[in-house]
């Protein structure tokens, strides 16, 4: 029965270096292809726990040894090493993905707010045009026109306040995006 101590330190170091290189190449491919941008439903509750779980599964240092029935040779024991550096790279990559997702969500909210603001602007212009038409067609002493003008003015003010609230919310989201950008670095 062979064990992991049968391997020399140089072989172990070579295996570690090769594995680290393969993981780094894999991460670069993921980033260059943008695979993480295509998966919207992928979420990890705690990135640190996930990295530790992956490291615990593969970095325990255990080797596997088995002999199949009917086979004449033993299988070679396999041992996989993960260094803290690779785990940190994976964790950093996952954190950046999460920040990018938050940033996309905030931008989508901003787009919806800007669309609502545009609709309010169109309504306000329409109200102004209606008020101008009423003013030009106003007969002195006609109370119904005064009542209609008051309603138009009231609706104009309400739309203006809604627009200001939406604009403040939009600015707040832009500030949050800026903060997310700072966290990303």
- pLDDT for the residue numbered 56: 52
With cut-offs at 50, 70 and 90, classify the pLDDT of residue 35. Answer: low
- pLDDT for the residue numbered 71: 44
Matching residue, tokens 């045009």: 129
Tokens of 109: 């909210």
With cut-offs at 50, 70 and 90, classify the pLDDT of residue 6. Answer: low
CA distance 137 to 134: 5
For the chain, the domains span 4-184
Find the mean pLDDT for residues 87-110: 89
With cut-offs at 50, 70 and 90, classify the pLDDT of residue 44. Answer: very low
- Chain centroid to CA 6: how far? 46
pLDDT above 60: residue 43: no
Q: Where are the alpha helices (DSSP H) in the chain?
A: 9-33, 35-38, 47-58, 84-136, 143-184
Would you give the DSSP letter of residue 78?
B
Number of CB atoms found within 10 A of residue 156's CB: 17
DSSP for 48-72, written as a single string: HHHHHHHHHHHSS---B----TT-S
């Amino acid at each position: 029965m062979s064990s992991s101590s049968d391997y020399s330190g140089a072989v172990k170091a070579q295996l570690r270096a090769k594995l680290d290189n393969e993981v780094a190449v894999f991460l670069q491919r993921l980033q260059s292809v943008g695979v993480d941008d295509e998966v919207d439903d992928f979420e990890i509750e705690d990135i640190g726990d996930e990295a530790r779980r992956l490291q615990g599964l593969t970095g325990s240092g255990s080797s596997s040894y088995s002999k199949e029935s009917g086979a004449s040779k033993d299988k070679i024991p396999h041992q996989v090493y993960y260094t803290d550096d690779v785990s940190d790279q994976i964790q950093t990559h996952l954190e950046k993905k999460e920040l990018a997702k938050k940033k996309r969500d905030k931008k989508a909210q901003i787009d919806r707010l800007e669309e609502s603001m545009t609709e309010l602007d169109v309504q306000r212009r329409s109200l102004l045009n209606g008020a101008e038409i009423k003013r030009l067609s106003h007969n002195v002493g006609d109370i119904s026109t005064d009542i209609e003008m008051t309603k138009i003015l009231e609706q104009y003010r309400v739309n203006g306040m809604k627009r200001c609230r939406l604009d403040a919310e939009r600015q707040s989201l832009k500030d949050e995006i800026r903060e997310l950008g700072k966290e990303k670095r």
